[in-house]
Amino acid sequence: MRAGTPPNRPSDGETDSARAQRWDPARYARHGRFVADLAGPLVALLAPRPDDDILDLGCGDGALTAAIAPRCRRIVGVDASPEQVAAANALGLDARVVDGHALPFDTEFDAIVTNAALHWMKRPDDVIDGMWRALRPGGRIAGEMGGEGNVARISGALMDALRRRGIDGESRFPWYFPAPDAYRRRLAAGGFEVTEMALVQRPTTLPGDISGWLETFAEPFLGAVPARERPAMIAEVRDDLEPVLYREGTGWVADYVRLRFLAVKPPVAEG
Ligand code: BEZ
């Protein structure tokens, strides 16, 4: 997916838009549909109830939102990408353009579900504060995001390709992939009781060539080189990764690591 535009702060005169991740719903549907398709364990953790009001944080094109909608009273999707929100609205969903760092909701929801979105939001404490405000007492977050080590091979190859061009890839790293203890501590500091937190190795078979994944998800790195050079950079990264991520008969398998968690906003104490 999807979700918050990375809050990168260019220091070399480059424009924000050269570093930003943009979302093209048609391309996303081709290369990113697996993200919602693999959300079964997250939805099981959420366990939607018929009287739940749910916020889908980082709803992207609404594929997961639409799958949950029949199982709850109300679901609202938010995403930072106007293009993805338009695609979600076209499915008939209540989806809104919202920066996940500044959620505008006040005790409106019984649950938040968030899939493959939080790692695009690089100020996690702001996001956690907003989730706290959005939930009713006793409300829960069921979340899945990239965790420590996620796409390490892929991002390593991208940064190597930039280094060979004299460009610092580290400073462009657009993702936040926390270790379980670190994220647990942040949630606890935000007032949540963390009831589940697991780092799950999930090698993920891609629907096509790795170049489709790179074009869809790695724009903050690719944007560092002029458009005419990007096909060569993609080919180079592909060559680097082929021995480790391509398997005859299976195809391309990305080195995904999921951080999956359930956290609860304590009910108001009685008495
Ligand atoms: C992920 O879901 O883990 C992911 C997606 C796109 C870029 C990086 C990570």
What is the crossing angle of helices 124-134 and 180-189, to 10°? 50
In this prediction, residue 33 carries a pLDDT of 84
In the chain, % of residues over pLDDT 70: 92
How far, in Å, are 77, 109, 147 from residue 73 at the CA level? 14, 11, 31
pLDDT digits (tens, 9 = 90+) for 206-234: 999 999 999 999 999 999 999 999 999 99
In this prediction, residue 35 carries a pLDDT of 83
Residue nearest to atom 6 of ligand 1 (CA): 217
Spatial distance between the Cα atoms of 20 and 263, rounded to a whole number of angstroms:
30
CA of 215 to the centre of ligand 1 (A): 12
Q: Which residues pair with 263 in a beta bridge?
A: 141, 194
* Contact status, residue 111 vs residue 140, Cβ threshold 8 Å: yes
Closest to 156 measured CA to CA, from 208, 216, 209, 218: 218
Residue 71 has pLDDT above 90, yes or no: yes
> Is residue 9 very low, low, confident or very high in pLDDT (cuts 50, 70, 90)?
very low
Closest to 146 measured CA to CA, from 63, 204, 97: 204
Substitution candidate for ligand 1 out of 150, 173, 206, 216 with most atoms within 8 A of CB: 150
Ligand 1 is surrounded, with C-beta below 6 A, by 116, 119, 146, 150-151, 175, 217, 256
pLDDT digits (tens, 9 = 90+) for 94-148: 999 999 999 999 999 999 999 999 999 999 999 999 999 999 999 999 999 999 9
Task: Round the average pLDDT of the chain to a whole number and report it.
Answer: 92
Q: Which residues lie closer than 8 Å to 21 by C-beta, 6 or more apart? A: 5, 6, 120, 174, 217, 219, 220
In this prediction, residue 161 carries a pLDDT of 97
pTM score: 0.91
In this prediction, residue 17 carries a pLDDT of 46
How far, in Å, are 3, 22, 106, 125, 193 from residue 175 at the CA level? 11, 14, 27, 15, 25
The domains of the chain, with CATH numbers, are 17-153+175-206+254-264 (3.40.50.150)
At 43 the three-state DSSP class reads helix
Higher pLDDT, 35 or 187: 187
Residue 8 has pLDDT above 80, yes or no: no
CA geometry: angle at 127 spanning 134 and 199, to 5°?
A: 110
